[in-house]
Amino acid sequence: ELGHNYYQRAYKDQPFLFKNGANDGFHEAIGDFVGLSALTPTYLNQIGLLQTVPGEAEDIPFLLKMALDKIAFLPFGLMVDRWRWDVFSGETSPNEYNAAWSDDMLKYQGLVPPGPRPAGAFDPGAKYHIPGNTPYTRYFLAHIYQFQFQRAACKQAGWTGPLHRCSIYGNEAVGERFNAMLEMGQSRPWPEAMQAFTGESGNDASAVADYFAPLNVWLTAQNRGKDCGWEA
């Protein structure tokens, strides 16, 4: 939540109509981007909590943990608004709300309810953003943007190692450039804000792939010869 507060402080001098994030995904990505550095062994070593940085052999457990947080969320982050849009368009009728939710869970996440659901169940309501009428795609986008920000920041800092080990702690030049983007608020279209910091003018999930590249290699070897996935 501090990410929201720092963003709001940065664009406080914008005219009233521009006192907002470049888009909703930006607002959610700010704190998570900073967290990517704060979670690294490199950062923990920089602040004296680790005497030595673990070797590459320790990367896989770390990346597995990060993937459970960042990658496993992506299909759910996409699914919620897909379900909402079908409801709003009338494609999903009220008596189909719960069945459609279960169908989307299987399609996007490969999950099924733990048991039969009663006819009057409304499982989507357990997610606050559904009854709260809060769009959810912002969180899906944030899980892409934070890695774009991280990759750009690490390049600016001159980091040449694996992206998942990069910490920008203490780099004032990167911080100033990032803050300049935050200060734009909503005064420019979001691709221009993205361009100002990353040099990219759109969504680019290749930064996610770059971050998890060592884990992808390991999983490919582990799953060789196995039939992975599900049928919806």
Q: Are residues 217 and 205 in the same domain?
A: yes
Does one domain contain both 65 and 78? no
Q: What is the pLDDT of residue 52?
A: 87
Phi–psi pair at 50, nearest 5 degrees: -125, 130
* Residue 228 in domain: no
The verdict on residue 231 lying in a domain is no
Are residues 141 and 115 located together in one domain of the fold?
Answer: no
Distance in angstroms (rounded) separating the CA atoms of residues 8 and 202: 22
Residue 198 makes CB contacts below 8 A (sequence gap 6+) with: 148, 149, 151, 152
Domain encompassing residue 84: 73-126
Looking at residue 137, what is its pLDDT?
Answer: 96
Q: Percent of the chain at pLDDT above 70?
A: 100
pLDDT at 14 over 90: yes
Residues 34 and 62 in one domain: yes
Residue 230 lies inside a defined structural domain of this protein: no
If asked whether residues 11 and 64 sit together in one domain, one would say yes
58 CB-contact burial (10 Å; exposed 0-12 / middle 13-18 / buried 19+): exposed
Q: Give the C-alpha separation, 7 to 195, whole Å.
A: 17
- Give the pLDDT band (50/70/90) at residue 53: confident
Lowest mean per-residue pLDDT among 99-103, 118-122, 227-231: 227-231
Mean pLDDT value of segment 3-30: 94
- Shared domain check, 45 and 117: no
Name the percent of the chain lying above pLDDT 90: 88
- Read off the pLDDT of each residue in 191-201 and give the average, rounded to a whole number: 95
112 and 17 within one domain: no
Residue 31 lies inside a defined structural domain of this protein: yes
**Residues 160, 207: one domain?**
yes
* 13 and 32 assigned to the same domain: yes
Lowest-pLDDT range of 47-51, 173-177, 193-197? 47-51
Q: What is the pLDDT of residue 228?
A: 84
Could you tell me which of 133, 145, 127, 129 has the C-alpha nearest to residue 23?
145
* CA distance from start to end of the chain: 36
Domains: count for the chain: 2
Q: Same domain for 84 and 65?
A: no
Q: Is the pLDDT of residue 232 over 80?
A: no
Is residue 98 domain-shared with residue 211, that is, in the same domain? no
Which of 62, 77, 68 lies closest to 139, judged by CA? 77
pLDDT band at 119 (very low <50, low <70, confident <90, very high): confident
Mean pLDDT, the chain, integer: 94
